Amino acid sequence: MIEAYKNFFRGFADFLGRSTRPDFWWVWIMNTILSIPLYITYFQAVFTEEEVADPIASVGILSFYIIFYLVIFIPSIALRVRRLRDAGFHWAFIFLAFAPMGGFILLVLLAMPTKEATSQ
C-alpha cells in the first residue's frame, strides 16, 4: 500500500504509462482515509451548535484541506489516465466525471481488468 502511494507521487506527471488495478485502488483508499478526518474536522469547525463558529479555525482547516487537494490533483488525474489506458480505454473517458452519473461509470471503467494488448 505504501509502495503504491510512493509510485503515485513518482509518476505524478506521467500520462503515458499504465497503472494496475492494485496501484489505483490502494491510492484511492489511502486518499479516502486521509480525506475523512479533514472533512470531519472542517465540518465540526464550521457547523457547531454555537451561534458563531471559530472563523480562524475554519480558515486554517480549510487551508490545509485545499493544500492537500492541490497536492494530489495532478497526480490523481495522471493515475486515472494511466488506469484507463491499462484497462484498454481511451484517456478521454476521464471527462465522464463531468456528466450526470458519469462518475459512477468512470469508476466502473477504472475497475475493469488489465488488457494486455492496448495501443492507446
* For residues 88-103, average pLDDT: 93
Instruction: Tell me what pLDDT residue 65 has.
Output: 86
89: left (phi over 0), alpha (psi -120 to 50) or beta: beta
Instruction: Tell me what pLDDT residue 87 has.
Output: 93
Contact assessment for residue 101 and residue 109, using Cβ atoms and an 8 Å cutoff: no
Name the residue with cell 476521464: 94
Q: How far is CA 102 from the centre of its chain?
A: 15
Tens of pLDDT, residue by residue over 22-77, are 999 999 999 999 999 888 887 877 776 665 566 777 788 888 889 999 999 999 99
Alpha helices in the chain (DSSP H): 2-10, 21-46, 55-86, 102-110
Instruction: Tell me what pLDDT residue 52 has.
Output: 57
Name the residue with cell 452519473: 101
Q: What is the mean pLDDT of the chain?
A: 86
Grid cell locating 26: 490502494
pTM: 0.81
Distance spanning both ends of the chain, measured CA to CA:
27
Instruction: Tell me what pLDDT residue 53 has.
Output: 62
